[in-house]
Structure 1
Amino acid sequence: MLAVFDLDGTLLDGDSTALWLWGRVRRSVPRLLAALLVAPVAIPMVIAPPTRRAGASILLWIATAGLSEPKLRESCAEFAAGFQAKALPLRWRGPGMATLDEHLAHGDEVVVVTAAPTVLAQALIAPLDRPIVVLGTSLKRRAGGWVADVHCRNQRKCQALAEAGHGKRWAYAYTDSLDDLPLLRAADAPMIVGCGKAAHRRLDRARLPNGRAMAW
């Protein structure tokens, strides 16, 4: 059986992409000034689903301008090393990781599908040394920096799973976000996770007849 997990807010207790980008921006005065200049426009764009890809790409470009692909991967690896060393305000969620390990112990296939860049998500997950497939947002080079190519969110997560050979339905789906409703609706056992009250409120809004809320 296939168990599908979101990453940020589900297996992780924060936003890995935002932390990675902020870490790059704050170490460079020109990047910081550029980010502050565009923030009033880019941040509302990131919040609104229709413009999320464009807004994220603006911030991503500022943080990565001048990076070659090897340097991009090196930056993600450095971030992952800092995460492993617990030098970042980001942690694995204990109940989430325990649930993931239960699926692996039962012989289930586990896929993490995330809006985070694939290169970043892979750098974070690889040290776990578990047989986990990672699907995320692809990046492309644009004017010397990197921007989102195919943004892996909402219905696109289902498309990414289908393109990777996992079909159009799965046994389990775990996420903290209602942006993942297509992912949840395609699961036999959709799970909305988070602190107890928030998860139950999201479950009520989702109107999933077979859905469950889980306190993580």
Structure 2
Amino acid sequence: MNQESRVVVFDFDLTLTRWDTADRFFRWMLRRDPWRFALILVALPILGPLLLARSTRKWPIRFAVWVATLGRSSDSLSVLADEHIQSLPMGHASVFLPAATEQLQAHMDQGDQVVIATGCVEALAQALLRHAGFGHVPLVASTLRPFLGGLVRDQHCFGPNKIPMLSARGFAPPWAIAYTDHHVDLPVLRLSSERYLVSPKPKCIARIEQALGIKATILAWR
């Protein structure tokens, strides 16, 4: 990597994409096998109330990912990701925001070092980027590990955890520019010289402006 290049960090879901890609992917996996969906329904009376509180919401989500991946390996997840993308009405073209990918390409054309840091599962994010012609862009994403016949979270590239994961891949802070849609990326924004918010919600803008003491720069890509 050219040490003189500016490092530009892009979030993925709702920054480069129109929706939360992992959420849609795992819902698709659950629906394609009725028995998996039935397991979720059986557990809903117990796990459902946990969705109401932010502190406990992770547990039903982790359970759903485990059920969706029962009998699956990490390698088969990449194949399923390709199948999922092909099942979309317009393939990968329906996923990405044109203005976002144009900006990403513009940074690369200028000689900037672009890296994508995302909480999305690596197999899915990599497949989506490959289909869109951005498979060569460095990606730091969440990983899964085997557990009781399925897959569960290993490293979660989310919030403050993005910093050590980016550093481990050779993209240590400070960064020149960061793009995100959510205040959860405040740790990344604090360590970036320029920050851009992609179609953020009003509460997100308020939290970031209060935390950083600056006026947010908004990009209306969605």
Q: TM tier, shorter chain? A: 0.7 to 0.9
* C-alpha spacing 1:46/1:87, structure 2 compared with 1 (3 Å): farther
Please report how far the alpha carbon of residue 46 of structure 1 lies from its aligned counterpart in structure 2 after TM superposition. Answer: 6.2
Give the one of 148, 160, 173 matched to 1:143: 148
Specify the SS of the correspondent of 1:132: coil
- 2:205 pairs with 1:203: yes
Query: Deviation string for 1:27-62 (max 9, x for gaps)?
Result: 212111112233465566567554455443211111
Alpha-carbon distance in 1 for matches of 2:163, 2:115: 12
Please report how far the alpha carbon of residue 144 of structure 1 lies from its aligned counterpart in structure 2 after TM superposition. Answer: 0.5
Please report how far the alpha carbon of residue 170 of structure 1 lies from its aligned counterpart in structure 2 after TM superposition. Answer: 0.6
- 2:110 pairs with 1:106: yes
Matches within 5 A, 1:117-136: 117-130=121-134, 131-136=136-141
Deviates more, 1:121-130 or 1:13-22: 121-130
Query: Deviation string for 1:104-160 (max 9, x for gaps)?
Result: 110111111111111111011012333311111110000000011111110001111
Q: Contact 1:61/1:146 (CA < 8 Å) preserved in 2?
A: yes
Alpha-carbon distance in 1 for matches of 2:217, 2:47: 34
Query: Deviation string for 1:84-105 (max 9, x for gaps)?
Result: x615895211211111111011
* C-alpha spacing 1:96/1:43, structure 2 compared with 1 (3 Å): farther
- 2:97 pairs with 1:93: yes
Equivalent position amino acid for 2:21 in 1: S
Q: Contact 2:72/2:150 (CA < 8 Å) preserved in 1?
A: yes
Structure 2 gap ranges (5+):
1-5
Matches within 5 A, 1:33-52: 33-39=38-44, 42=47, 45=50, 50-51=55-56
Please report how far the alpha carbon of residue 13 of structure 1 lies from its aligned counterpart in structure 2 after TM superposition. Answer: 0.5
| Percent identity of paired positions between Structure 1 and Structure 2 | 29
Alignment length (residue pairs): 212
State the TM-score, normalized to the length of structure 2: 0.85
* C-alpha spacing 1:89/1:53, structure 2 compared with 1 (3 Å): farther
Deviates more, 1:179-188 or 1:138-147: 179-188
Aligned Cα root-mean-square deviation (Å): 2.4
